[in-house]
């Protein structure tokens, strides 16, 4: 049986984690990576997001528009920190600090 397709609202990137482009459960991560990249709290349950780091702007994204040669990879975040990082990336895209 194949893995379920990601929701249509979530873009699919070839460099994204194969199970789903951005939503994660802690058990899907290597035990050494089961912490939030931002606040370093342990990730448990199904409450996590994978965000892609853009080396051009030093911002994290979930919308998969980072060119492959500019991506620093996908990193785990808790839901609260992920919302903050996504909001920061949206502000940066608008040209605001």
- Indicate the SS3 state at residue 54: strand
pLDDT digits (tens, 9 = 90+) for 31-84: 888 999 999 999 988 878 999 999 988 999 887 778 889 999 999 999 999 999
> How many helices (DSSP H) and strands (DSSP E) are in the chain?
1, 4
Higher-confidence residue: 22 or 85? 85
CA distance 3 to 57: 33
pLDDT digits (tens, 9 = 90+) for 48-61: 899 999 998 899 98
């Amino acid at each position: 049986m194949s893995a379920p397709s990601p929701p249509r609202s979530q873009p699919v990137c070839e460099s994204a984690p194969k199970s789903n482009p951005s939503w994660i459960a802690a058990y899907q991560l290597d035990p050494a990576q089961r912490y939030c990249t931002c606040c370093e709290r342990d990730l448990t349950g199904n409450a996590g997001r994978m965000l892609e780091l853009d080396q051009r702007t030093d911002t994290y994204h979930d919308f998969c528009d980072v060119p492959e040669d500019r991506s620093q990879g996908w990193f785990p975040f808790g839901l609260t920190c992920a919302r903050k990082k996504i909001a920061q990336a949206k502000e940066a895209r608008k040209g605001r600090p």
